[in-house]
Amino acid sequence: MEAIENLKTRRSIRKFKSDMIPKETIEKIIEAGTYAPTGMNLQSPVIIAVTNKEIRDRLSVLNASVFGLGNDPFYGAPVVLVVLAEKSAPTYLYDGSLVMGNLMNAAHAYGISSCWIHRAKEEFESEEGKEILKKLGIEGEYEGIGNCILGYADCEEPATAPRKSNYVYWIE
Interval 3-20: pLDDT, tens: 999 999 999 999 999 999
> Taking 90 as the threshold, does the pLDDT of residue 51 lie above it?
yes
With H, G, I as helix, E, B as strand and everything else as coil, classify residue 117: strand
Contact assessment for residue 133 and residue 142, using Cβ atoms and an 8 Å cutoff: yes
CA atoms of 154 and 151, how far apart (whole Å): 9
Rounded CA separation 13/2 (Å): 21
Asked whether the predicted pLDDT for residue 36 surpasses 90, the reply is yes
Q: Is 38 in contact with 95 (CB distance < 8 Å)? A: yes
pLDDT at 34 over 80: yes
In 11-119, DSSP assigns E strands to 45-50, 79-86, 113-117
pLDDT at position 55 is 96
Give the model's pLDDT for residue 67.
Answer: 86
Which residues does 163 contact at the CB level (< 8 Å), separation at least 6?
A: none
Residues 97-133: pLDDT tens digits?
Answer: 999 999 999 999 999 999 999 999 999 999 999 999 9
Q: What is the rounded distance in angstroms from the CA atom of residue 165 to the CA atom of residue 172?
A: 18
Estimate to the nearest angstrom the gap between the alpha carbon of 69 and the chain centroid.
20
User: What number of CA atoms fall less than 13 Å from residue 143's CA on the CB side?
Assistant: 15
